[in-house]
Structure 1
């Protein structure tokens, strides 16, 4: 059991080091946002690791490590350090405001037509309703 704890500790420290290195070498898609995104990566990592510092359940530690590694991989792949909001459904797209760190849901093109009646459509586009 002790070697398992040492292995977990090593993995946690390795992930934290990887995130610190990532923050130092991070380049934003828009160069003017590089400093903001680097600071966000450091702050987010610091907060998440401190929040879980006293976790002793090995299954939970493994889950947290998996989530952290997945998030790093997604950030590297897409070039976006921000986590996708959990309250949005998977097919939802959204805009991110970097300064206020807020998310705004976009309406899909098909959703724009959900509440349009045939009468409204024909009046708007001059379609023949016969």
Structure 2
């Protein structure tokens, strides 16, 4: 659906932009290994809730797989995308309380922008994923 929307809007407006934010939880395997998969599932639910609050009406949030999430922001300028990334950082700065355990869950966020980083959703996701891994490597 978004690919179809991209192609239609590309014809209508040269300045239309879409941002894809690729969010990955750092060291999530440690949570599953130490607290169990049920606790890991609760963390994923809480992450989903926090990301939905961050995006509110600004974008579409989905779990992409495992501990990876996407936020797709339509017609946002780079400044608004940077503000969204900052909201995500703030959301992850608060501890997660899971079954009486306080957890510090961190994330890495990569961004790609249409049309600069790709003209279809698959390419945008791939490039946001690559961007996220560059962010993750710098954090280590």
Q: TM-score, normalised by structure 2?
A: 0.32
Relative to its length, the structure with more strand (as a share) is: 2
User: Normalising by the residue count of structure 1, what TM-score does the alignment of the two structures yield?
Assistant: 0.34
Which entry has the higher C-alpha Rg, 1 or 2? 1
More helix by share: 1
Greater RCO structure (CA 8 Å; 6+ sep): 2
